[in-house]
Each structure stands twice: as structure tokens, then as C-alpha cells.
Amino acid sequence: MELDGREFRNALGRFTTGVCLITAVNEQGEPLALTANSFSSVSLDPPLVLWSLQNNSEVFDVFAGAGHYAINVLAGNQQELSSRYARKGDHILEPGHFTPGENGGAPLINDALVSFECSLDATHPGGDHLIIVGRVDAMQVRPEGEPLLFYSGAYRALA
Ligand SMILES: Cc1cc2nc3c(=O)[nH]c(=O)nc-3n(C[C@H](O)[C@H](O)[C@H](O)COP(=O)(O)O)c2cc1C
């Protein structure tokens, strides 16, 4: 039985997620960000996390090849950042949105709930995405703040 693509997408959307900005620096030294909700924890010891990158992304080469990158979990008041860095071909970070990290220079998004500073552990083919597994070398945790949520194709907030 063949799944209907739209129905599958809609069904996946019934799983509530947070929203992240994945950040890295390209070969020219420019800081980039890409909105992603495919973030997931993998392992506690060693500390591993993953996210999935669309094979047809214009910034595929940068994010698939980045030895260091950061996964920034967005707060409820950062919806604009999510929309901004989900725009096609428009991923260069604005100066006011980040601070350069010390772990390989991956940009840290200002006021994110958490920034996981990762080094690339492994990549695995995943259909039309690439699964990127990172080892968490350091993290910056903001003690307070509410998360930005994504459910059924729309942004949500905790009630
Ligand atoms: C809430 C949300 C979650 C997303 N999650 C992912 C993701 O996990 N992986 C991914 O590659 N793109 C994801 N995207 C799409 C990218 O942010 C971006 O829209 C797309 O890559 C734009 O095309 P480009 O990369 O060619 O510029 C998501 C977009 C939104 C709005």
C-alpha cells in the first residue's frame, strides 16, 4: 500500500515539537542558520543528538560538512527568527541575532533556551534527508523561559 504524501505529512505534524535554529560557519567564514524541528536526543553517554537535513537544501553542503555546529532551541518569543531562517536561500545570520561560540566558532543564538555546541559524529542517509549525529561538547542553558512549539503546521505556545 502506497502512503499518500500529504496525509503522511499531516500525520507527522500531529507530533508536537520544539523549534531549533541549526547554526554553522561556511567556508567564507559567514555565519548561517537553518530552522529545523527534526532535533532529537540520541544518547546520554556519550552525549549524542541528531537532526535531519533536506537533501535539496541550498545550504546542504555547509550543514552536511560542518565539523562544528550548534543546535539552538528557540524560546516562545523567537517565532520571527524561526520564520526568518526558514526562508529559502536566505540563511546568513544577522549580526544582532547571535554571538560567536568558542567551540569551533559555531554561532550561538542570543536568548535561545539552550544552545548545544556539537562536533560532527556521523551522518546517515535517510531518504530525502541526511541524518546528522553530533556529539555535544558544551551547552549554554538559559534557566527560564518558555519554548516555541510547532504542531500541525503552526506555531504554538504552552497553555
Ligand atoms: C518549523 C520548521 C521546521 C523545519 N524543519 C526542518 C528540518 O528539520 N530539516 C530541514 O532540512 N529543513 C527544515 N525546515 C525547512 C528549512 O528551515 C527551510 O525552510 C528550507 O531549508 C528552505 O530551503 P533552503 O534550505 O534551500 O534555503 C523547517 C522549516 C520550518 C518552518
CA distance 62 to 42: 23
Q: How confident is the prediction for the chain on average, in pLDDT?
A: 97
CA of 26 to the centre of ligand 1 (A): 18
Nearest CA to ligand 1 atom 21: 57
128-157 in b/e form (b: 16+ CB < 10 A) is ebbbbbbbbbebbeeeebebbbbeeeeeee
CA of 142 to the centre of ligand 1 (A): 24
For residue 104, pLDDT over 90 is answered with: no
All domains of the chain, ordered by start, with CATH? 5-152 (2.30.110.10)
Quick one: pLDDT at residue 103?
A: 81
Nearest CA to ligand 1 atom 13: 36
Quick one: pLDDT at residue 151?
A: 98
DSSP bridge pairs for 98: 109
Q: For 20-67, write each residue's pLDDT tens digit.
A: 999 999 999 999 999 999 999 999 999 999 999 999 999 999 999 999
Cα distances from 107 to residues 22, 60, 98, 121, in angstroms, run 9, 17, 6, 19
Q: For 119-141, write each residue's pLDDT tens digit.
A: 999 999 999 999 999 999 999 99
CA of 34 to the centre of ligand 1 (A): 6
For residue 1, pLDDT over 80 is answered with: no
